[in-house]
Amino acid sequence: MVYLRPMKIKFALLFILFYGLGFSQTEKHFKNLKQLTFGGDNAEAYWSFDSKKLTFQSNYTKWNLHCDQIFSMDIAKAAKDSLYKPALISTGKGRTTCSYFLPGNKKILYASTHAANDSCPAPPAPRSDGKYLWPVYKEYDIYVADLSGKIISQLTNTNGYDAEATVSPKGDKIVFTSDRSGDMELWTMDIDGKNQKQITTGLGYDGGAFFSPDGKKLVFRASRPQTEEDKKEYKELLAQGLVSPTKMEIYTCNVDGSDLKQITTLGKANWAPFFTPDGKQIIFSSNHNSKKGYDFQLWLINIDGTGLEQVTTESVFNSFAMFSPDGKKISFSSNRKNHGTRDTNVFVAEWVK
């Protein structure tokens, strides 16, 4: 028998408390961290209204995928079984992005290029200047499918990019990004696709918008080219179906586009924002503190732009954070625990304020 002195017993109990329950010394907001996917690039995992499921996109080759497709995951099953395969929601054709549950948890909306071509659209060709760019596929439109993958309706049908749709907690509105007006702007529509309205107008990319918990405000990422040279480059890239995501800040506005405010002035890429459950802060991904450029960590900031706090420290990519509707948990994507590969997986944890 090993005898422990009182101080050693106390230390051992503290060790069990913090590490046995899933606390990190440096990631104090996470408790009981669980890995839910185990290979490929898995991202944009967003909660069902009952806080029991996630819908996300994956390109995992072991699931016979050639580019991103949409899946629905039972969180409890995924947390217990590393071999668990979630249900395919998209058609398996084309490329998909940005899925989200509709009220009732029986329907999922997502953007897809499948109507234009069964094959995955080609990624942007490597550039001689090495600039990192996002493709803006004109073939994207927004669809609604049931949990078996049957497409129920098509919400957009314009000649251009329509994607990045998310749903209000009130269940009445959808916000999405479209280039139908000649620029990458935020638009809203009713839950059935009717009453589509443009709500932002500033030159630059506006996207990745989410509603506040009360459904009255939006938080989103935006680029705002300032110099004539930057404006010219932005317009030229957009004409080629490309945007540069390396200079973005976090903004908020009312659902009708009024009261537009820039929340961050950090430089570099600040993106994937989401309101905290109380609506008083925003969690987002940023590389502003990175020396190499790719080190993306999660950060918290008050809605008035004060109180910046780093949330994650592990790995060099953490993004797509979203709080469960009941406010108890957080999901995010990270390349931690990927055994030296480039895999990005979905994680979930209890949120500690």
The answer to the question of residue 15 being in a domain is no
Number of domains in the chain: 1
Contacts of 96 (CB under 8 A, 6+ apart): 57, 68, 69, 70, 90, 110, 111, 112, 113, 114
Look-up of token digits 């959808």: 174
The answer to the question of residue 223 being in a domain is yes
Q: What is the per-residue pLDDT for 25?
A: 54
CATH code: domain of residue 92 = 2.120.10.30
State how far the Cα of 283 lies from the Cα of 37, in Å rounded to an integer.
22
Q: What is the per-residue pLDDT for 17?
A: 40
The answer to the question of residue 206 being in a domain is yes
The answer to the question of residue 6 being in a domain is no
The answer to the question of residue 2 being in a domain is no
The answer to the question of residue 292 being in a domain is yes
Per the structure, the complete domain to which residue 232 belongs is given by: 23-351
Q: Which helix (H) or strand (E) holds 7?
A: helix 6-15
The answer to the question of residue 4 being in a domain is no
The answer to the question of residue 74 being in a domain is yes
Look-up of token digits 């069990």: 16
One pLDDT digit (tens) per residue for the chain, 353 residues: 333 444 443 433 333 343 444 444 589 999 999 999 999 999 999 999 999 999 999 999 999 999 999 999 999 999 999 999 999 999 999 999 999 999 999 999 999 999 999 999 999 988 888 889 999 999 999 999 999 999 999 999 999 999 999 999 999 999 999 999 999 999 999 999 999 999 999 999 999 999 999 999 999 999 999 999 999 999 999 999 999 999 999 999 999 999 999 999 999 999 999 999 999 999 999 999 998 778 999 999 999 999 999 999 999 999 999 999 999 999 999 999 999 999 999 999 999 99
